[in-house]
Amino acid sequence: MQGKRIEPTRGTGYSRAMKFKALAIIGLTALLVGPFAYADNDQPPRNHNALRKLGRGFSNLLFGIVEVPNQFTKTTAEHGGAAGVTYGVGKGIVRWVCREFVGVYEILTFPIPAPRGYKPVMNPEFPNEDYEP
């Protein structure tokens, strides 16, 4: 018993025109959506303005000393008392001095949107934000 011989068909059923249309749609979509898919923008972060920069400068200048006990406490909690007394106090003094200089810088340059969009120079923004009594 012999059956009918089946001949293989040419191609997969997709025409060259269909492939071209699909590629064109994908390409146009990428070109139209691409410019909107970037992460950075020129807008300053919310609530960051010249007045906030001035306040942040005064806060750093007046309360920068908070860094010494803060770094002592954090280092003691993570590495023990000996590290807190040596490394923690030293790190706190360095951060305190840095906060003083940053405070003066931010007070003197508060009308200028530098760094870009009035972003804070030091993190955390205020000296008491990560204080752990």
Residues whose CB falls within 8 Å of the CB of residue 36, separated by 6 or more in sequence, listed in order? none
Q: What angle do CA 52, 47, 119 make, to 5 degrees?
A: 65
The tens digit of pLDDT for each residue in 16-30 reads 788 888 888 888 887
Which pLDDT does position 17 carry in this prediction? Answer: 81
Mean pLDDT value across residues 99-126: 90
pLDDT tens column, 66-91: 999 999 999 999 999 899 999 999 99
Q: What is the pTM of this model?
A: 0.62
What angle, 0 to 180 degrees and rounded to 10, lies between the N-to-C axes of helices 89-108 and 50-63? 140
C-alpha–C-alpha distance, residues 52 and 120, integer Å? 10
pLDDT of residue 44 exceeding 70, the answer is no
- What is the sign of the dihedral through the CA atoms of 122, 127, 131 and 133? positive
| pLDDT band at 38; cut points 50, 70, 90 | low
* Percent of the chain scoring above 70 in pLDDT: 81
d(CA 109, CA 98): 16
51-69 tens-digit pLDDT: 999 999 999 999 999 999 9
pLDDT of residue 133: 61
How far apart, in whole angstroms, are the C-alpha atoms of residue 67 and residue 132?
10
Region 97-125: mean pLDDT is 91
